[in-house]
Structure 1
Amino acid sequence: MACWLLRLVVVLTIITVGEGKQNAPQVCHPNDLKGLTSFKDGIHVDTSGRLAKWIGHSCCSWEGITCNQMTGRVTEIRLPGFISTNDFLFQSQMTGLLSPSLTLVSCLEVMDLGGLTGLAGRIPPLIGLCLPNLRKLYLYGNKLSGPVPDSIGKLSKLEELHLHENRLSGSLPSNLGNLKNLNQLLVYSNELTGMIPDSFKNLTNMKQMDLHSNILTGHIPDRIGEMQILEKLDLSKNLLRGKVPLSLANLNAISEMYLDTNHLEGEIPFPSSFGQLSSLCFLRLNDNHLTGRIPTNFGNMVSLQRVSLANNKIEGVIPSSLGNLSALTELYLSGNLLSGQIPKSVGELSQLIMFNASHNRIQGPLPQELSSLQNLQTLDLSFNQFNLISFPQCLAELPSLSRIYLAGCGIQGEILDFLQAAPSTIQELDLSANHLTGSLPAWLGSLTQLYKLNLSRNSLVSRIPDSVTNLQQLGLLDLHSNKLTGPINNVFQIGNAFSEGSLTYIDLSDNYFSAGIAQAGVGAQTGVQYLNLSHNFLKGRVATTIGRLKSLQTLDLSCNKLGFNLPEAFANVSSLEKLKLQKNQFTGRIPVGFLKLRKLKELDLSDNLLAGEIPEGKPLSNFPQSSYSGNKDLCGKPLIPCKVEV
């Protein structure tokens, strides 16, 4: 029994001593210590305070450092900019240069220095030769410049490479295609040029590739479609040219494909048979030069949820197979050459929330099946060849429809009352460029959630009803190019627009309004940024309260009958970028305070009755003679010099 107890004590002692050695702080390998301290020395600001705790020689106990318990070598550096704990979220910053000596940490498997925002310098050129075990490299969201080193192509174990949102330049190394284990390649939002290497077709384990927002040119590698497990392909916002390769149809595992905003041309090549691209949910091909037709079997991609083919040169009809896309929630077909009619099968898209087919050549009539789209929230059919004659009542009965765009659809007659009783809450209504006549109905004021109202370019003849003052949420009001009459004071009372309201855009130009400018600016601060009252019959004095429009960027009062002196209060509108007052009857001098309008880029005071010397200095001296011409008694730069009185 005594021997057994003695042995037990010995075993427990060995275990205890062993655990003590394992948990004791380890002295850094000299190369690891030198590499880490050199990195620390290169950083002169660390808002997280982590580097300040790197003291002594036991680097395995430093925050953000992980070591191999057997060898004692550093295997991970994790110092991301975004710090998340149970107690707080914090975006930290490190300002300084990335030390090339980090490559001395030769057993490194993970380097995470992403999102530090102030980290500059270059990616160490020898990184791929000195860190052979690297699996994950995160240097995104910094200020790194220079090329992507060729040596990265030597990192045979690399699985994830995140270099996005830097200032990297040069071309993508072709030997990146040698990285057989790479499954994430994110280099978007840099300044990379050149072609996408053909070797990228060899990245057969790739799941996510994102190269958008660079200056890449050339074509997509022909066999990129053989990346069978690719889940996300984002090549948007580059300068890619050529055709969409047929091989893309082989990406059976892909769920997201973004090829938008390039120079791709030719026809859409997929799919050729049922089952191809069966996992694709999000497809963006917009803003290219694609031609041909939407494939008749487009509806075979039954997993599609969001599709954008907008702003291409696609022609022909919308295929009826579209009705097979039962999961579709958003469909963008605007800015093409589509013709024919909207297929009746569109009514089968029960999940559809957004449908935009504007700026095409689609003809009427609209299918009655549109009334089945119970979830539809936004409909834009503007500028087609519908010739609707009247507003389609079936649309007004949709329970979720809140944004209606039917501009340039040939609608005639008066604005019909059934919009007032629509079951949905209308937030945006655009019936511009039609043939509407009659008056603005008083019931417009009952659309209390209305944010955007555009009835411009019609033949409306009434006054603006006082009920518009009930539109507390209105942000955009566009009534230009009608035959509206009377005063405009009530516009300046919409939702306390010139105090704390949401109104930012007002265009009442090209009408017959005669009074109300004296109310402009009544109230305290304002969010109005654009105000156009030009080409009316406004007369009298511009109120000094115009100076309270602190957010105003564009003011156009041209081609009216306004008179008296220019208000000094204009000088208080420091955000003003465009001021057009030409063809009125303003008198007196140009206020010296106009020199305070430092953001002014466009000025026209021509064809008034202004006199005296133009105040000397910028920005007034920046404008051409045409900005001041037609004022007989005005002088000074850039006009003729003023006569010196003797």
Structure 2
Amino acid sequence: MDLKLRPSFFTSFFVFIILLKNPDFASAATSPRCISTEREALLTFKQSLTDLSGRLSSWSGPDCCKWNGILCDAQTSRVIKIDLRNPSQVANSDEYKRSCLRGKIHSSLTRLKFLSYLDLSSNDFNGSEIPDSIGHIVTLRYLNLSSSSFSGEIPASLGNLSKLESLDLYAESFSDSGAFALRASNLGWLSGLSSSLAYLNMGYVNLSGAGETWLQDLSRLSKLKELRLFNSQLKNLPLSLSSSANLKLLEVLDLSENSLSSPIPNWLFGLTSLRKLFLRWDFLQGSIPSGFKNLKLLETLDLSNNLGLQGEIPSVLGDLPQLKYLDLSANELNGQIHGFLDAFSRNKGNSLVFLDLSSNKLAGTLPESLGALRNLQILDLSSNSFTGSVPSSIGNMASLKKLDLSFNTMNGAIAESLGKLGELEDLNLMANTWEGVMGKSHFVNLRSLKSIRLTTEPNRSLVLKLPSTWIPPFRLELIQIENCQIGPSFPMWLQVQTKLNFVTLRNTGIADTIPDSWFSGISSEVTYLILANNRIKGRLPQKLVFPKLNTIDLSSNNFDGPFPLWSTNATELRLYENNFSGSLPLNIDVLMPRMEKIYLFHNSFTGTIPSSLCEVSGLQILSLRNNHFSGSFPKCWHRSFMLWGIDASENNISGEIPESLGVLRSLSVLLLNQNALEGEIPESLQNCSGLTNIDLGGNKLTGKLPSWLRNLSSLFMLRLQSNSFTGQIPDDLCSVPNLHILDLSGNKISGPIPKCISNLTAIAHGTSFEVFQNLVYIVTRAREYQDIVNSINLSGNNITGEFPAEILGLSYLRILNLSRNSMAGSIPGKISELSRLETLDLSRNRFSGAIPQSLGAISSLQRLNLSFNKLEGSIPKVLKFEDPSIYIGNELLCGKPLPKKCPRDINSRLL
């Protein structure tokens, strides 16, 4: 047999013979590569740390070069790299917090004589100081201690790291213990890094103590290419730079979120290597200088949110050949943008990808030169004062992915060429005054469209005239269309949108039924479902599950049938102003356990209000106004509730007001009027010290007016009209300082009006009432309360005594009704002190004497009724009211507009 042996055989055989003769050779071949002194240094370092997630569990074997986060030099086995950054980069997540290393950094790291790379970023050292010993690891080229919750002064010993090329001390903290303050009061130590440092990040490091020389100190870093001082509490930006300063290599400069409060300095335009410049939220002032033309390499310019930059946008920005990202949003820039965009159109090779000019004061029409930005992917011109139409050249911007023209005053048509933007994903045209028609050509090629926002004013006419059977090429995730005509049908292009997670179709003229399949198609992903202010009819599908739904608003439609048994984690339900009927589900707490606001008013619901509402612990607003609910109001409320608004008015609720309402310390608005409630007002309500609005009118309540009302210092409105309350008006009521509406009419109250009524300081001095008024409106949407602010209505009782002069001190009183009582005496001559009075009704009392001339001095007076009293004499000619019913029933009154002539007029005519 011809046997041929390969050379590798001899090598293997040779090694085998050596192993037989020398067994120690085998153990030497597998011995640890790690240097024992360095292994011990790492173990000491480990012992000083707390490792909750076990990230350092591999740090136990003999070879430290195999430990996680450790790299050794392949030739020398020396540790050259430690990378212990947090593996979870989602700040504040549970995984992030669990993976944080804690404890302290031990000085044993100084024994790693060849360590060049140290990364301990995104851990939690709980406010400890950066150890001075790190400045003695002189071999370091890379040091990253960012977002690791250090505090105190940065050690000057870091200036010893003369080989350091990258230093990241970014100090934003995500510790459970809160933020920590890392500071540098002196930057002189940076001079030790002048010949090596290329990257420096001291974002969130407090440099306010570094004085006026901070920039001069940094300018000594002659190799520096990237400088980031984001939110470093810098208070000044020098307008000049020393001739010895050397930042010529700087490519990235971020000074954002400081309080520089100065113009943009000219020395910036000498940094001709700059590629990225971030100066946002710096309170910069003045205009944008033309010196930017010197920065030919500039790719990114962010001057957003300075609020003080003004003037026109200089056209030189359009001449920058490398500019890709430009953000000038949230400033005071004004004028038109024609010249600025024309510069881009001349710059045929323009590479602009991102342009944000939103939230300025820019005006005029959008020029056709806009279409020259052929590479643009993001265009945001929102929140300005642009007018006119969308230019037809928009169709040339073939790369556009986002177009935002929202919150302008654009009042023209939307160009059909919009339909050419096949890459467009996000279209926002909301809050303008669009007119015209959008047809199939506007949408037919928008294959990438995921989001559309299109709203105009209610009185404008924008029509989406699309074929009823047309199926579009896009599947939307967000749709918001308001005050635009889509209906009356619910078209096919909407029916096929079953990937929606946000739906708003408000006031779109839809008068159709919506297929059950559409609701079930969106149910798994939708978070907002708003179909309000249409004429949609039919019944809602029952027993659907909406796991992500947050808000349901189907209000002001023609839906009928039973309450939808939808299982959802939504927090807001608006079904008001429809034709829903039947009872509410007894297990509403199971179906909607996270509900915070329930608006069901103006429907035809029947049955009792389910006590299971007491188990919806997050409930804040319950609005059931104008239905047919009967039985008693739930009695099961408990202290854990945050319920602050209850409106069950205009129903058939009977029984007593539950005592348990008194445990709702958060209760602010209680409206139970127009029901069949009986008994007394429970004393427990005095525990609801934050009550601002109470309306219990139109019931069968009895007893005396409670004296504890004086404890409700925030009470804005008290309406107890049309009940059977007895006794006198208690003086305690005068001690409610914020009362703007008092209505005790239609009861059996007797005795005089208390003289302390002048103590109603809110009506006397006109204190603010908007907050209280808005609270009522949020709960009930009832406008009736807005018309009676600063009013007192005591009519229809058995009140006696004279017109109290103290009322004249309520100078902001708008409505005063004392009619249908037994009051006597004269109308005070100084009644003109009620100079804001709009309505005065003193009818059906026993007032006597003359009508005071001063009534004519109240220019705001619109309604007056003095009928059926015992007034006498001539009606003052200064009163311009021509309706005789105002004065009838006063036998001794004469003069216009009554037919009875006064004697003096008769005598003057005879003469």
Please tell me the TM-score bracket, short chain as reference: 0.7 to 0.9
C-alpha separation in 1, matches of 2:471 and 2:815: 50
Q: Taking structure 1 as reference, are residues 288 and 510 closer, same or farther at Cα in structure 2, changes over 3 Å only?
A: farther
2:687 pairs with one of 435, 446, 465: 446
Within the candidate set 748, 755, 773, 1:512 is matched to 748
- The yes-or-no answer on 1:316 pairing with 2:561 is yes
Question: How much is the aligned-residue C-alpha RMSD, in angstroms?
Answer: 4.4
What does residue 462 of structure 1 align with? 703
Match of 1:34 in 2: none
Asked whether 1:534 is paired with 2:776, we answer: no
Q: Hey, what does 1:391 align to over in structure 2? A: 633
> What CA deviation, in whole Å up to 9, does each residue of 1:506-545 have, x standing for no partner?
3222223343264433254354733233333444444444
Provide closer, same or farther for how the CA distance between residues 462 and 369 of structure 1 changes in structure 2, counting only shifts above 3 A.
Answer: closer
Q: Distance in 1 between matches of 2:408 and 2:594?
A: 39
Distance 1:340 1:57, change over 3 A: closer
- Stretch deviating more after TM superposition (308-317 or 268-277): 268-277
**1:22-41 → structure 2 map (5 Å cutoff):** 25=269
* 3-state SS in 2 of match to 1:169: coil
The TM-score normalised by the length of structure 2 is: 0.56
- Give 1:381's match in structure 2, choosing from 624, 628, 631: 624
| Map of 1:521 onto structure 2 | 758
Instruction: Please tell me whether the aligned partners of residues 452 and 479 of structure 2 are also in contact (alpha carbons under 8 angstroms).
Output: yes
Counterpart of 1:256?
Answer: 502
1:103 aligns with 2:341: yes
- What 5-or-longer segments of structure 1 have no aligned partner? 1-11, 29-47, 83-92
* Aligned counterparts of 2:830 and 2:413: Cα–Cα separation in 1: 56
Rate the CA distance shift 1:75–1:633 in 2: closer, same or farther, 3 A.
farther
Alpha-carbon deviations, 1:259-310, whole Å to 9, x = none?
123432122324358554421011111222111101125x243321211112
**What are the within-5 Å matches in structure 2 for residues 578-589 of structure 1?**
578-581=839-842, 585=847, 587-589=849-851
Residue by residue over 1:162-212, the C-alpha shift from the partner in whole angstroms, topping out at 9 and shown as x without a partner, is 333332213333332322233333332322233443323643433432223
Unaligned runs of 5+ in 2: 1-221, 226-245, 253-266, 273-282, 304-312, 345-349, 770-788
Do the aligned partners of 1:200 and 1:224 also contact (CA within 8 Å) in 2?
A: no
Partners of 1:431 and 1:295 lie apart in 2 by 32
2:597 is matched with which residue? 354
Give matches, 1:164-175, under 5 Å.
Answer: 164-175=406-417
* 1:258/1:284 contact within 8 Å kept: yes
Counterpart Cα distance in 2 of 1:195 and 1:544: 65
User: What is the aligned counterpart of 1:403 among 632, 645, 651?
Assistant: 645
Query: How many angstroms does 1:335 deviate by?
Result: 2.2
Cα 1:70–1:213, aligned 2, differ >3 Å: closer, same or farther?
closer
Are 2:546 and 1:301 equivalent residues in the alignment? yes
Shift of 1:350: 1.9
**Is the CA contact (8 Å cut-off) linking 2:606 and 2:627 kept in structure 1?**
yes
Q: What is the match of residue 485 of structure 1?
A: 726
Q: Does 1:269 align with 2:506?
A: no
Partner of 1:291: 537
Pick one of 434, 445, 451 that aligns with 1:208. 451
Counterpart contact for 2:434–2:462, Cα < 8 Å: no
Residue in structure 2 matched with residue 159 of structure 1 by the alignment? 401
Residue 80 of structure 1, aligned match among 321, 329, 337: 329
CA drift of 1:640 comes to 10
Partner Cα separation in structure 2 for residue 78 and residue 624 of structure 1 = 65
Change in 2 beyond 3 A, CA 1:640/1:313: farther
* Identical aligned residues as a percent: 24
- The worse-fitting range, judged by mean Cα deviation, of 440-449 and 565-574 is 565-574
Q: Over alpha carbons, which structure has the higher Rg?
A: 2
Task: Report matched runs for 1:624-639 at 5 Å.
Answer: 625=883, 629-630=887-888, 632-633=893-894
- Superposition pairs for residues 199-238 of structure 1, below 5 Å? 199-200=442-443, 202-214=445-457, 215-219=460-464, 221=466, 226=472, 230-238=476-484
Quickly say closer, same or farther: Cα 1:615–1:204, change in 2 above 3 A.
farther
- My pick for the range that moved more, 140-149 or 60-69, is 60-69
Cα distance, 1:291–1:395 mapped onto 2, change above 3 Å: farther
The equivalent of 1:565 in structure 2 is 827
Contact 1:219–1:242 (CA<8 Å) still a contact in 2? no
Structure 1 residues 285 and 435: alpha-carbon distance in aligned structure 2, compared to 1, 3 A threshold: same
1:278 aligned residue: 524
Aligned residue among 554, 571, 577 for 1:329: 571
Q: Residue 570 and residue 396 in structure 1: after superposition, are their counterparts in 2 closer, same or farther (change >3 A)?
A: farther
What CA distance in whole angstroms lies between the structure 1 residues aligned with 2:520 and 2:359? 43
In structure 2, relative to structure 1, the CA distance for the partners of 1:213 and 1:129 (3 Å cut) is: closer
Letter in 2 for 1:266: D
Assess, with a 3 A threshold, how the Cα gap between structure 1 residues 75 and 526 changes in structure 2: closer, same or farther: same
Q: Distance in 1 between matches of 2:741 and 2:857?
A: 26
Q: Say whether 1:124 aligns with 2:359.
A: no
SS in 1 for 2:418: helix
1:602 to 858, 862, 885: 862
* Corresponding residue number in structure 1 for 2:277: none
- Pick which of 70-79 and 226-235 moved more: 70-79
CA–CA separation in structure 1 for the residues paired with 2:665 and 2:509: 40
The answer to whether the 8 Å contact 2:614/2:638 transfers is: no
